[in-house]
Structure 1
Amino acid sequence: MMRFLFILLFYFCSGIPAYSEDNPFPQWFTPELAKLKTMEEFIRIQKKSSENVFYHIQKIEIKEIMYNVGSNVFEGNIVFTSKECSKKTFVVMWFADACDDQECPLMVIGETLCEDKESD
């Protein structure tokens, strides 16, 4: 229950870009939904990979980008810190071409390498 409340609180406190009518993604797949799905996937993967580890999320962003092959993409980034790492970024993507009326599959790109605390 606390996790759900945290997600809602974070969602309402952070800025989300407006949805465009000419967006190639299905109308139901909004930047807001992409942001929530990014957070859900981050929690799911972190829960699997380690136990009793707390993360400080610094930033969550969703941006729409176009690759050189003409494919529109939503990219979700979560910048976070932990005891062992001063800054890491978790990255997921959704490709507009892979979406249909009922589903838009998520592709986990992964996490960046840890940056040294001294380099901040």
Structure 2
Amino acid sequence: MLAVLEHVFDPYAVIREVSRVLKPGGELVIVVPNVAWLTNRIRILFGRLPVTSGDVGWDGGHLHYFTKHALDRLLQSGGFEIVARKTTGGRAQLREWWISLLAPELVYRCRRR
């Protein structure tokens, strides 16, 4: 699910449905914007809204915003084990070192329990 989860009305229902139709041991890849990355925290500090889309003046129609902690909780409550957490963009190794702060996007590989 690449850049989908932040657009749906009920992410918990979507994750439960994916868990239901996926065989045990089946894998899911999820990519969502990280609302808590450093650039967004600085924007909030100066009274601006977080940016979760490259489009000027539009947040991409996002209904939900995710942090590492929130996505972990969502996936685990939906019956998934988190196999790997990655990010995108340059300096990926540095960003993965402190993913909750330095990653503009969260990329997860999960396995259904």
Bigger relative contact order, structure 1 or 2, given CA contacts below 8 A and separation 6+? Answer: 2
Question: Quick check: which has more Rg, 1 or 2?
Answer: 1
Normalized against structure 2, the TM-score is what? 0.25
Greater strand content: 1
Q: Normalization by structure 1: what TM-score?
A: 0.24
